[in-house]
Chains A and B, each alone.
Chain A
Amino acid sequence: MTPPEGQTGTDAAETRLVRLLNEGNREAFGVLFGRYQAALYRFALRMSGSPAVADDVVQDVFLDLIRGKHGYRPELGPLRPFLYGMARNLVRQSMKDVAEEPGEDGRAGDGADPLAGLNRAELTGRVREGVLSLPVHYREAIVLCDLEEMSYEQASQALGCAVGTVRSRLSRGREMLLGKLREVRCMI
């Protein structure tokens, strides 16, 4: 069978799996859950810093998929960014952080390296705190592009925005992250 226009063979297969899942097919669930749960969990964990929130997000994404609640429409794009979009909305709902505009404290400032001399655990901890403290728009861009290693295009599909927007958010987010790391380092 030829996939609908604009869909690859993989997309068409996933569309079939989603349809089977809506009918309660356990094998379809097994395939889709196995394929996406870890990635969605990591995304939610990196966005929220909370394993409990990450668990809830994975559960709610798949529950909605089982129920067909948000009606995955294959003609609008592949399943993967659709699932990330759902996860993103759920993470946002779980967070109180609604600050969208960066403050002045997020500037990269001078040329000093705020991460120099840290061991691996310290480095990871500082960067984690820094990422979690970013406004959500910038955090999403960094999590998807720098941590999930998505392309700009994939991230733009997941975030529902233009590729250029992803680029600018990523650039600004990195600047802010560096500024926050320097801020923390200066306080030590």
Chain B
Amino acid sequence: MTDQQWRSLQAGLRSLADDTSEGTASPAVERALKAALSVRQERGVPLAWRWAMAASLAAAGVLGVFVLRSGSPGKAGLASRPALEDSVEAYTPWFVQRGGIGPVRGQVVRMRVSRGTAAAFGVRGVGYSTDAAVEADVFIGDDGIMRAIRFVR
């Protein structure tokens, strides 16, 4: 490699480095990790479930995000969302974290989780697909903490 070639290549590499120097992970990554962390923090929840949920959150393909109205997702929030209320029978009840959700804002994220995760909640026979995953709605507070989950039948 001649000096001229090397200088030229260096300039090109520097240009590429500058072009990607501002890169940062998307906010969704931090949210998912905080949710996984909150699962880790939970006490009294079976360890297997915590890991299953953390893994699910990490591997989940997010199918859709629905922003909730303010208030508790128990009644004022989740239950009153028209988009999801239309087919109540299509879901299991919400499984809410110990101690309740509290008046928080957040998002419901549709994702695919393993059947093992559903089984950890005592939910069996959910979903109609033959693959190993089932769909679930996970309520994640704006603080990144996972508050509740329900499974699509």
Contact = CB atoms under 8 A, between A and B. Distances in A.
B130 interface: no
B13 A55 contact: no
A42 B1 contact: no
Size band of the interface chain B makes with A? 35 or more
User: Which of B1, B28, B51, B57 lies at the interface centre, i.e. has the most chain A CB atoms within 10 A of its CB?
Assistant: B1
Contacts, number: 114
A24 interface: yes
Given A41-B24, A111-B5, A59 B12 contact: no
User: Which of A59, A111, A113, A147 lies at the interface centre, i.e. has the most chain B CB atoms within 10 A of its CB?
Assistant: A59
Contacts of B153: none
Interface string B32-71: 1110111011000000000100110110000000000000
Interface of A: 21, 23-24, 26, 29, 33, 37-38, 40-42, 45-46, 51, 54-55, 58-60, 62-63, 66-67, 108, 111, 113-116, 120, 123-124, 126-128, 131, 142, 146-147, 149, 174-175, 177-178, 181
Interface of B: 1-2, 4-6, 8-13, 15-17, 19-21, 23-26, 28-30, 32-34, 36-38, 40-41, 51, 54-55, 57-58
29 contacts: A24-B40, A24-B41, A26-B37, A29-B33, A29-B34, A37-B24, A37-B25, A41-B23, A41-B24, A42-B20, A46-B20, A55-B28, A55-B29, A59-B58, A62-B33, A63-B55, A111-B2, A113-B8, A115-B11, A120-B15, A124-B15, A124-B19, A127-B12, A146-B10, A147-B16, A147-B20, A174-B6, A174-B9, A178-B9
